[in-house]
């Protein structure tokens, strides 16, 4: 199944939503929308194409009503999601949905692109957990590309799960949380070997934490 979702925020009006497929969104506030699943997705073979656009001077907060569960399909275990975020000058986007859970045997890939104009503000949070209770086998990869105007801000890729390149079979992480914040002038901060807040050369920060389980 192919899912297409478009959310557009314009200053002075309610967010506009267009959805086709297994994912929709509902306005839950003047500048807030929540994702709502209308069918079981992503299943193996599914493709999700989501575009979130915030216009000049507009503000948008995106949440979800429940976690997303990626499941293997009958013919393939792989599903793919493309996320595109565009924020104009003076616009502000806070994206913080519930986690994505990769069920046993599923393989889910995400490709996220962010385009910010000078003067835009962004907080983009992603959380992924490999396996439901009692499950340990599944695979996720996430690729994030972010630019401010014509200036590269971030090129980042992570893999989790039994088929990940870094999997050691004993202590490999099964959960990741990442937060891209722009602008942000915080300095480097690390917690052991599992979590780090790193400033980006073009401004902003990237926080990444890996673990066996997500924390609330």
Within the chain, strands assigned E span 2-9, 16-20, 23-29, 32-37, 47-54, 59-64, 68-70, 78-87, 92-95, 100-102, 107-116, 121-130, 139-148, 151-161, 175-182, 189-191, 195-199, 205-211
Using alpha carbons, select from 24, 13, 202 the residue that is nearest to residue 122.
Answer: 202
CA distance linking residue 127 with residue 176, whole number of Å: 6
Give me 49's structure tokens: 């194409």
User: Tell me, what's the pLDDT at 107?
Assistant: 94
Q: What are phi and psi of 6, to 5 degrees?
A: -125, 125
Q: Phi and psi dihedrals of 68, rounded to 5?
A: -95, 135
In tens digits, what is the pLDDT along the chain, a chain of 216 residues?
899 999 999 999 999 999 999 999 999 999 999 999 988 899 999 999 999 999 999 999 999 999 999 999 888 999 999 999 999 999 999 999 999 999 988 999 999 999 999 999 999 999 999 988 777 788 999 999 999 999 999 999 999 987 776 666 556 788 999 999 999 999 999 988 889 999 999 999 999 999 888 876
| pTM: predicted TM-score of the whole model, two decimal places | 0.93
Q: What is the DSSP letter of 43?
A: B
| Residue 71: strand pairing partners | 43
Question: What does the alpha-carbon distance between residue 198 and residue 187 come to, in Å, rounded to a whole number?
Answer: 7
> What is d(CA 110, CA 169) in angstroms, rounded to the nearest whole number?
23
Q: Please state, in angstroms and rounded to a whole number, the distance separating the CA atoms of residues 168 and 164.
A: 9
């Amino acid at each position: 199944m192919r899912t297409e979702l478009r959310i557009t925020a314009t200053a002075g009006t309610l967010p506009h939503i267009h959805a086709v497929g297994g994912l929709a969104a509902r306005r839950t506030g003047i500048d807030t929308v929540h994702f709502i699943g209308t069918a079981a997705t992503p299943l193996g073979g599914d493709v999700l194409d989501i575009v979130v656009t915030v216009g000049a001077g507009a503000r948008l907060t995106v949440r979800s009503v429940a976690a997303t569960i990626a499941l293997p399909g009958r013919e393939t275990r792989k599903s793919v999601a493309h996320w595109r975020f565009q924020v104009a000058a003076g616009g502000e986007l806070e994206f913080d949905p519930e986690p994505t859970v990769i069920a046993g045997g599923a393989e889910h890939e995400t490709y996220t692109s962010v385009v910010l104009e000078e003067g835009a503000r962004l907080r983009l949070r992603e959380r992924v957990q490999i396996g439901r209770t009692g499950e340990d086998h599944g695979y996720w990869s996430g690729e994030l590309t972010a630019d401010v105007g014509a200036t590269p801000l971030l090129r980042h890729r992570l893999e989790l799960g039994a088929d990940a390149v870094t999997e050691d079979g004993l202590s490999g992480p099964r959960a990741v949380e990442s937060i891209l914040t722009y602008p942000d002038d915080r300095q480097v901060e690390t917690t052991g070997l599992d979590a780090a807040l790193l400033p980006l050369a073009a401004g902003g920060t990237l926080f990444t934490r890996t673990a066996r389980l997500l924390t609330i």
